[in-house]
Structures are given as C-alpha cells and as structure tokens.
Amino acid sequence: MPPSTNTSRGNLKLNNPFHNLIKEVRALDKYHNPNLLLEDLHMDTLDGDYHFTTSRDTLVLMSRIIEDTLRLHRKRCSLYAGFQELSRFMEYREKYERLAGYANQIFVIGIADIPVKRIADNVHVLTENADVVRENWISIVTNNEIHISLIAEETPSRKRHERYVGFYTNSKALTERAVGILKRNNVLSNEETFGKQTFFDI
C-alpha cells in the first residue's frame, strides 16, 4: 500500500532495504510490463514476474487484486501490507475488517502516528521499525502454496504524479526473500503471532 507522497531523498536507494532486491529483479532478462494489462487487469493476467516504473494508481489497482486473493483462498493465506503511517491505514480500515474474515493472518505495517483500536483477532498492527520501510510499497500474500509480492520504492520524478520502481512476482523464492527482508530489519518478528490480536494504542 502507499508510502508517502514526499519524493525520495538523494540517499533513499542506499538506505532502502528492498533496493537491492528490486535492482536484481529489474536485471532479469525475461519480464513483463503490467501497464500493458491495465484495460483488463486481474489475477489470471498477473502471472509471472513483472518489473516496472509506474504510477501510484497502477500500484493501487494491483494491490486490490492481490488483496482479493484472500477471498479466493479463504483462511489459507496471510497478508502483509505497508501503509507508511497508521493514519494512512484508516482509509482502508473497513476493507481490512472485511478481509479479516477471509485471511489467516493480516499484518499491517506503519509508523504509529495515531492510535489504532482492535480490528480482529487475526489482524496485527506492527509499528516497531516501521520507519525502515517507510518509503516502500508492500503488498504480500502468501501461504505454503501461494506466493505473491508487490514491492516498490518511490523514486524522484519531474512529473506531477508519484512514480515508483519495483516488481510483482508469484515466485516463492522472491516472496520469501521479501518477507525475509522485513524480518531481518525487525519489522516482523521471527515468531509467528497466531490467534492473538496485536494493536497499537497511544
């Protein structure tokens, strides 16, 4: 989900924990451009690896498709979603209350700028070290069989709209590496928190 509207600082790429992974995927010889699919974009067409420089609107659309995967695999998948600050999550809170009925676990990542009350037993609001991934767009759905990731970083743009560099994949290896980056940066705990609601309240 969306990071800040602030443009990246000159040293963003050096500090961004996902930058090297994004750079590696963009170096792949075989890739697709998701912008070409926008007229008829759905999960069936998002198959394989895509890397791109694209707009916020495209990423919003792709994130919605990824989140809807939870409805197709009821109680089987977990969702990891980055929102920069928790205040940005509030726009989507009602949707996530509904998604909680379909998900195994949901992990909402954001800086604790406002209190967030209990959502559901399987929705966990993670604020520790959320500033590390503040400039990233993160939307991941995964279980033992499904591995879907949308990862991007905001990039400086002379255009009026925000621009993002990143990738979409249904690769198990890349998705595991993306989740691993969150764990290594202590955004996620190595211990899974099943069945216990975690929330932040100022």
Rounded Cα–Cα distance for residues 12 and 161 (Å): 18
C-beta of residue 108 within 8 angstroms of C-beta of residue 83: yes
Q: How do residues 131-159 score in pLDDT, each as one tens digit? A: 999 999 999 999 999 999 999 998 876 66
Report the candidate in 132, 151, 143 with the shortest Cα–Cα distance to residue 25: 151
- Relative orientation angle of helices 172-184 and 19-26, to the nearest 10 degrees: 160
With tokens 């255009």, the residue in question is 159
Does position 29 have pLDDT exceeding 90, yes or no? Answer: no
State yes or no: pLDDT of 6 exceeds 50: no
Residue 82, helix vs strand vs coil: strand
For the sheet with 136-142, list strands across it.
49-55, 163-169, 147-155, 136-142, 78-85, 105-111, 123-126
Domain spans of the chain? 12-184
Higher confidence at residue 121 or residue 56?
A: 121
pLDDT at 8 over 70: no
Residue 143 CB contacts under 8 Å (≥ 6 apart), including other chains: 73, 76, 77, 78, 104
Task: Provide the pLDDT for residue 191.
Answer: 58
Report the distance separating Cα 179 and Cα 80, nearest Å.
9
CA dist 1 and 70 (Å) reads 16
Record the pTM.
Answer: 0.81
The chain-wide mean pLDDT, for the chain, equals 81
| pLDDT confidence bin for 163, thresholds 50/70/90 | confident
Residue 84's pLDDT band, with cuts at 50, 70 and 90, is confident
Cα separation, 25 vs 174, whole angstroms? 9
Q: What is 12-184's CATH number, 3.30.870, 3.90.320, 2.60.40, 3.30.450?
A: 3.30.870
Structure confidence at residue 101 (pLDDT): 95
Whether residue 172 has pLDDT greater than 70: yes
Share of the chain above pLDDT 90, in %: 52
pLDDT tens by residue, 188-199: 986 543 334 444
